[in-house]
């Protein structure tokens, strides 16, 4: 990327928007020219010197002529912005609105890297869906049934709109299950893996961090060494995916830019594998992956401003 590109963030007030501002403030090839927030309009935006929050409508954002727009909005509200922006503008949608749309490139970067390069419409994966797919993919060809995945995340994953899932008092000394069938990320992971996944999400009192434990039934037995070799081989050379022998804990994922996978265990009969993956739901689960995708779309090195 030889020229400096202008980028806008719509929905910059939220947790993911704040992380995007922080990351992109250090990007040598990008200028954050717009940070949208109705509630904070006119106030200084963090991390980017001289930038104030704005409250522009879709047509006004389009008139800015930005190279790329990152949509860090709740689900089901980004449509007017997508409609207003030109076909040449890179859009990275961090909501779930386009993760099931065949006209958009699905931005699980380590899997779809070649398709993301130069793309103009990119659907950023969900946080849980990212961790689930990375845990399951090394065994996809030998699955004997639907994986069952237990998930738990910090309450920042519930966004900024008040709810029981982001109420620290309600969550204190607590673990809250929710959406135990048909969660959006269950459907998302199932679609993009091409196999059904059963997912049980929970939220706990920490602000950030995400953990999934996947139990994978296999069609044929496997040894522990073979299982570990599959995971190591699947992500060899991936700078943002680390594989370890030990079982990672939720706090191990908080604050890191990538995904940590470990605790690969095999049942005595060899027909079931357990895998644990942890990440930061606001980073690899949202903002870091969005910047990976933005970099590839704009022709910059993928990890610019990330590592």
Residue 78 has pLDDT above 60, yes or no: yes
Q: How far apart are CA 108 and CA 130, in angstroms?
A: 7
Q: pLDDT (tens digit, 9 = 90+) per residue, 153-164? A: 999 888 878 888
What is the architecture of the domain spanning 5-125+285-298? 3-Layer(aba) Sandwich (3.40)
Q: How confident is the model at residue 1 (pLDDT cuts 50, 70, 90)?
A: low
- Nearest Cα neighbor of 136 from 264, 248, 46 is 264
What is residue 4's predicted lDDT score, i.e. its pLDDT? 87
Whether the pTM exceeds 0.85: the reply is yes
Q: If you average pLDDT over every residue of the chain, what do you get?
A: 96
Catalytic residues: 127
Say how far residue 215 (Cα) sits from the centre of its chain: 21
Say how far residue 94 (Cα) sits from the centre of its chain: 8
Q: Which residues pair with 272 in a beta bridge?
A: 217
Asked if 109 and 119 touch (Cβ cutoff 8 Å), the reply is no
Fold agreement (5-125+285-298, 127-280): no
Q: How confident is the model at residue 2 (pLDDT cuts 50, 70, 90)?
A: low
> Once rounded to an integer, what is the mean pLDDT over residues 196-213?
96
Q: pLDDT (tens digit, 9 = 90+) per residue, 239-270? A: 999 999 999 999 999 999 999 999 999 999 99
CATH number of 127-280: 3.30.360.10
Q: How far apart are CA 204 and CA 155, in angstroms?
A: 6
Structural domain boundaries in the chain: 5-125+285-298, 127-280
Q: State percent of the chain over pLDDT 90.
A: 94
């Amino acid at each position: 990327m030889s020229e400096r590109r202008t980028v806008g963030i719509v929905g910059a007030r939220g947790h993911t928007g704040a992380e995007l501002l922080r990351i992109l403030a250090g990007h040598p090839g990008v200028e954050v020219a717009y940070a949208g927030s109705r509630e904070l309009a006119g106030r200084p935006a963090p991390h980017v010197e001289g930038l104030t929050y704005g409250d522009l409508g879709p047509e006004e954002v389009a008139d800015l002529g930005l190279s790329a727009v990152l949509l860090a909005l709740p689900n089901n509200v980004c449509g007017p912005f997508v409609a207003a922006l030109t076909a040449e503008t890179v859009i990275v949608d961090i909501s779930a609105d386009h993760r099931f749309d065949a006209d958009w490139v699905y931005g699980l970067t380590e899997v779809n890297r070649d398709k993301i390069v130069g793309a103009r419409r990119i659907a950023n994966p969900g946080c849980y869906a990212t961790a689930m797919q990375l845990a399951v993919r090394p065994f996809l060809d030998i699955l004997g049934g639907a994986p069952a995945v237990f998930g738990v995340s910090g309450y920042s994953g519930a966004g900024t709109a008040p709810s029981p899932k982001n109420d620290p008092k309600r969550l204190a000394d607590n673990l809250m299950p929710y959406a135990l069938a048909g969660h959006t990320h269950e459907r998302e992971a199932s679609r993009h893996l091409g196999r059904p996944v059963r997912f049980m999400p929970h939220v706990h009192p920490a602000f950030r961090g995400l953990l999934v434990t996947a139990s994978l039934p296999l069609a044929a037995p496997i040894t522990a060494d073979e299982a570990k070799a599959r995971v190591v081989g699947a992500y060899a050379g991936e700078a943002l995916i680390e594989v370890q022998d030990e079982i990672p804990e939720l706090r191990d994922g908080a604050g890191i830019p990538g995904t940590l996978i470990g605790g690969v265990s095999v049942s005595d009969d060899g027909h079931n594998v357990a895998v644990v993956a942890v990440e930061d739901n606001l980073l690899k689960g949202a903002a870091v992956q969005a910047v990976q995708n933005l970099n590839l779309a704009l022709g910059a090195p993928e990890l610019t401003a990330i590592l």
